[in-house]
Amino acid sequence: MKSLFGNARLPDRNLALEFCRGTEAAAMSAGRLMGRGDKNAADGAAVNAMRYMLNTVDMDGIVVIGEGEKDEAPMLFNGEHLGTGKNAEVDIAVDPIDGTRLTALGISGAISVVAGAPRGTMFNPETVFYMNKLVVGPEAKDVIDIEAPVAENIRRVAEARKKAMGDITVVVLDRPRHEKLIGEIRAAGARIKLITDGDIAGALLTCKLERGADMLMGIGGTPEAVITACAIKAMGGNMQGKLWARNDEERQKALAVGMDFDKVLTIDDLVCSDDVFFAATGITDGDFLKGVRYEGERIYTSSLVMRAKSGTVRYIDAVHSLYKLDKIAGIDYKA
């Protein structure tokens, strides 16, 4: 199939349904370690399970956003090939656990996510690990400007959503670097939902109709920003970002490879395709998805599966047979 991407073989089926098997596997493996206080063990279990399952998918996948240099990961690293090598050529973005600390401590909001898009369409953040982000849902997608004052963005979103500014809820990561941002949001009269970790899940709240939020603002992970862009594009929302360096050494290293800290990155800069796939499975109970439950021989999972091209959003509650999985899968889901 020829396209704007030359001779690349584009996805012609909903890969998100197959990605969901990977997020389910990661969630079921990591969920066994919920509350045990070991982030590395939980992350390792999730990585192993996700990688095993994604390698069964008929695709020629390359990890663009993976565990990466920041995590010194031996698997699901940037540049790793995934899948059988057949059919669609796909950029893959993974976060086996968005919220490893949440999982380790048994706190709500941890999810496992995979996103995909045609080869060459995902933004590669290189060595820049953080980005300033502004995310909104569909009703406010045309009014945001990350370079405008905080209060102005809140005013615009309130107007688009036909709300008072005092009714707007802004999701913000609870970090010392956000002290000024939080002060500006409060001065504008808006409400704040502070989250300790997991800004992918936090961004999804902007597209949730009930018990959601109106905006996400602040500095979080750049890899997570690319995954967020895939999800928000599939849900009809919008986001903008600007790269953010932790120190001058990181800035100079990024400038040397052509990164631009002044450029406003649009959602299309982060993923320049409308044929985007996204799957997420809850690990611990959260605002968007229920966490994994273990009931003897059965495991219960809750997932979100989306394809931007079709606009289809699926919520999948699955019941897994531990006994049968033990016989056919190369993953140990037992405690």
The residue to which tokens 């009930």 are assigned: 210
Q: 15-122+276-327, superfamily in CATH? A: Fructose-1,6-Bisphosphatase, subunit A, domain 1 (3.30.540.10)
List, as residue ranges, the binding site: 43, 67, 95, 98-100, 130, 175-177, 197-199, 221, 224
The whole model's pTM is what? 0.91
| Rounded Cα gap, residues 186 and 181, in angstroms | 9
For residues 225 and 208, the answer to whether their CB atoms sit within 8 Å is no
Averages of pLDDT over each 10 residues, the chain, 335 residues = 45 83 97 96 95 95 80 75 93 96 96 96 91 97 98 98 97 97 98 94 90 94 95 96 94 92 97 95 94 96 95 94 84 80
CA-CA-CA-CA torsion sign (235, 23, 121, 12): negative
Please give the pLDDT value at position 223.
92
Pairing of strands 111-118, 277-282: antiparallel
Integer angstrom CA distances of residue 31 from 35, 46, 183: 9, 9, 36
List, as residue ranges, the binding site for Mn(2+): 43, 67, 95, 98, 224
List, as residue ranges, the binding site for substrate: 98-100, 130, 175-177, 197-199, 221
CATH topology of domain 130-270: D-Maltodextrin-Binding Protein; domain 2 (3.40.190)
Following CA atoms 239, 243, 244, 247 in sequence, which dihedral angle do they give, to the nearest 10 degrees? Answer: 170
Domain ranges of the chain: 15-122+276-327, 130-270
